[in-house]
Chains A and B, each alone.
Chain A
Amino acid sequence: MIDLGLNRRRLLRSSLALGGLAALGGCAVPAKTSSAPSLGLDAEDIPPKLAPIRAHPDRIFDIRCCIRPFRVKGPCLDTEQIGDALVVHNYGHGGSGWSLSWGSANVAVQKAMSVSPKQIAVIGSGIIGLTAAVTAQRAGAQVTIYTREMLPRTRSVRANGSWTPDSRVSLTEPAGPQFGVLWEQMARYSYKMFRYYMGLPERPVDFADQYRLSDTPFEPREEAADPSVKGSYATDGLPQQNFEFGRYSDRIRDLTPRSQVLPPGATPFPVKYVSRSEIMFFNFGSYGHVLLSEFFGAGGKVEIREFHRPSELSQLKEKVVINCPGYAARDMWKDKYMIPVRGQTAWLIPQPEVNYGLSYGGTSMLSKSDGIMVMHPPGPAKGDMVGVNDANEVESRQEAEDGVRVIEKLYSRFPTAA
């Protein structure tokens, strides 16, 4: 019985490898069928047809730039008393705000609820503020958000918006070993919460295959300290190399599937080395809409207001305040641990038929419902050092076009459709 099962499986694999990929001839870019029999992949792991991206600079319809609220010690979740108001901070999530939002909200809200407030004020309505507000409502509080602007205009939607829970979230040394424990708690909690937003209309939270492409063999992701780099955050007040950034993803390896190296010919990508993983991501438009609907549906109120100094918080009628100002904390709260990290995304016109993402060199692309996002490092810096200590928030058309051209060139080398 077991043998029969294996034989059937093998038969299925080879028949799909031969016929299944040949059937891709109907799609825009077929994989090479000649190498199909030697793919060595189980049938279910053979990549589906991959629609090409119409990556041309004239199809860029939006460029968004922002400063990530990177905090070397990890997010600030401290509490402090401002006048008669208890302020619970919730800011400084670097490139991990979307990913850690729910877990961070839970930590902040439980601190806030420990004094049993009936009403809670939330400052800011980026993804951190909005999830804190909804979480506080779920805990039984009446919530008013005080904010300069609503989610679609915040820095949050200028981010990448993927499950990247340890992207520029801390520096290992200043954050200390205990942060790893808190990080894991927040990451696991968040991951579980995203489950509730899967499968809704307009797919607020979704998964996609992510292809990592390279012309040279993949290097191990684990980085060692570069001995040629002099200095560090401790000596210079700024990180000097990627090795200094906190890496915690090993703590939650059980949550996400392993990446898989794909053999030559398994995809139409014109590179020698391809691996595939799956990535969870957030469609800003629909996810934001769902969260705001949930907030207003639970009786939440919004007041458009800008704060200029901490003492203003004690003037609010709510005596418990969850403070989610993002990068603005550097100025208003004089947080010396905040370091600007510039990031930019270019957006190509949406292509619903493209349901994957890729990275090639330092350039990455992800197809979302509200556009195809392209990120491209503007200078020689690599990895986590890209954009560090750059507070320039003006969009760069050049950087956007450079990124799109990398993708454009890649697709120009696709095998021609048979």
Chain B
Amino acid sequence: MRKSVRKMPLLLLGFLPAGVAAQTVTQWDGVYTDAQAERGSGQYVQHCAVCHGPALEGNGEAPPLTGEFIPDWAGTTLADVYDKVSVTMPLNAPGTLRPEITADILAFILKQNGFPAGAKELRASSEALKTINFTSKPGPGPPKK
């Protein structure tokens, strides 16, 4: 009995097509669309650029959203990034960005960091984004934090 229980998950995994397992998706797998990032670009300028800079370079107080942004968030999920923006940003009116706007801005930030666009938009839901790991290198990889 104990043996058969142990084998079951392995057998199941063997029949799952690659990429279906939720935990293997990362931001390197095309999780937003170009159109969404384009919308996010305008929203970024309106809500974020005053502190984080037009090139996402930061200003010495607000952190850069490129470069060290990647190792900073490696080991988390996009839900964590989404929640951070949803709850704490923008600085002058935290928590006021609509979910779709937050997702669009996130898509823009992903694009600016060189992560590829795909066919489906980033969903405006923290719950949905929990399935997208944020990693410093392509591939699922073990979480770094």
Give the interface of A toward B (CB within 8 A): 102, 106-107, 109-116, 139-140, 181-182, 185, 188-189, 192-193, 196
Give the interface of B toward A (CB within 8 A): 53-55, 57-61, 64, 66-72, 74, 113-114, 136-137
Residues of A within 8 Å of B68, CB to CB, are: 109-110, 113, 139-140
Taking chain B's interface residues, is the majority helix, strand, or loop, or is none over half, making it mixed? loop
Take A185-B53, A185-B54, A185-B55 as given contacts and tell me if A116 and B60 are in contact as well, using a CB distance cutoff of 8 Å.
no
Residues of A within 8 Å of B114, CB to CB, are: 114
Residues of B within 8 Å of A107, CB to CB, are: 57
Residues of A within 8 Å of B72, CB to CB, are: 140
Take A106-B58, A110-B57, A189-B60 as given contacts and tell me if A116 and B66 are in contact as well, using a CB distance cutoff of 8 Å.
no
- Least CB separation from B144: chain A residue: A116
**B82 shortest CB reach to chain A, Å:** 21
5 closest Cβ contacts across the A-B interface? A110-B67, A116-B136, A139-B68, A113-B67, A116-B71
| Contact pick for A193, options B55, B60, B136, CB 8 Å | B60
**Once bound together, how far apart are the Cα atoms of A348 and B69, in whole Å?**
47
| Contact pick for B66, options A114, A185, A189, CB 8 Å | A114
Evaluate contact between A139 and B59: CB separation under 8 angstroms: no
Evaluate contact between A110 and B59: CB separation under 8 angstroms: no
Evaluate contact between B74 and A116: CB separation under 8 angstroms: yes
**Once bound together, how far apart are the Cα atoms of A109 and B61, in whole Å?**
16
**A109 shortest CB reach to chain B, Å:** 6
Residues of B within 8 Å of A139, CB to CB, are: 67-68, 71
**Once bound together, how far apart are the Cα atoms of A109 and B67, in whole Å?**
7
**Once bound together, how far apart are the Cα atoms of A371 and B114, in whole Å?**
48
Taking chain A's interface residues, is the majority helix, strand, or loop, or is none over half, making it mixed? helix
- Least CB separation from B74: chain A residue: A116
Chain B CB count within 10 A is highest, among A112, A114, A185, A193, for A114
Evaluate contact between A140 and B71: CB separation under 8 angstroms: yes
Residues of B within 8 Å of A188, CB to CB, are: 59
Evaluate contact between A116 and B53: CB separation under 8 angstroms: no
Evaluate contact between A114 and B67: CB separation under 8 angstroms: yes
| Contact pick for A111, options B54, B67, B136, CB 8 Å | B67
**Once bound together, how far apart are the Cα atoms of A196 and B61, in whole Å?**
11
- Least CB separation from A193: chain B residue: B60
Residues of B within 8 Å of A110, CB to CB, are: 57, 64, 66-68
Residues of A within 8 Å of B61, CB to CB, are: 192
**B59 shortest CB reach to chain A, Å:** 6
Chain A CB count within 10 A is highest, among B54, B68, B72, B113, for B68
Could you list 6 A-B pairs, sorted by A, with CB under 8 Å? A106-B58, A107-B57, A110-B68, A113-B69, A114-B114, A189-B58
**A66 shortest CB reach to chain B, Å:** 28
Evaluate contact between A192 and B67: CB separation under 8 angstroms: no
Residues of B within 8 Å of A140, CB to CB, are: 68, 71-72
Evaluate contact between B67 and A189: CB separation under 8 angstroms: no
**Once bound together, how far apart are the Cα atoms of A193 and B59, in whole Å?**
8
**B66 shortest CB reach to chain A, Å:** 5
Take A110-B64, A111-B67 as given contacts and tell me if A116 and B137 are in contact as well, using a CB distance cutoff of 8 Å.
yes
Taking A111-B67, A114-B67, A114-B113 as known contacts, 14 extra A-B pairs with beta carbons closer than 8 A to each other, sorted by chain A number, are A106-B57, A106-B64, A110-B64, A110-B67, A112-B67, A113-B69, A113-B71, A114-B66, A114-B70, A115-B136, A140-B68, A189-B53, A189-B59, A196-B60
**Once bound together, how far apart are the Cα atoms of A288 and B142, in whole Å?**
41
**Once bound together, how far apart are the Cα atoms of A115 and B113, in whole Å?**
10
**Once bound together, how far apart are the Cα atoms of A113 and B65, in whole Å?**
11
- Least CB separation from A138: chain B residue: B68
**B8 shortest CB reach to chain A, Å:** 37
| Contact pick for B70, options A102, A113, A192, CB 8 Å | A113
**A75 shortest CB reach to chain B, Å:** 15
**Once bound together, how far apart are the Cα atoms of A194 and B142, in whole Å?**
40
**Once bound together, how far apart are the Cα atoms of A192 and B136, in whole Å?**
29
**Once bound together, how far apart are the Cα atoms of A235 and B90, in whole Å?**
50
**Once bound together, how far apart are the Cα atoms of A114 and B71, in whole Å?**
8
Residues of A within 8 Å of B69, CB to CB, are: 113
**Once bound together, how far apart are the Cα atoms of A139 and B69, in whole Å?**
9
Residues of B within 8 Å of A182, CB to CB, are: 55
**B78 shortest CB reach to chain A, Å:** 17
**Once bound together, how far apart are the Cα atoms of A55 and B68, in whole Å?**
49
- Least CB separation from A186: chain B residue: B57
**Once bound together, how far apart are the Cα atoms of A139 and B64, in whole Å?**
10
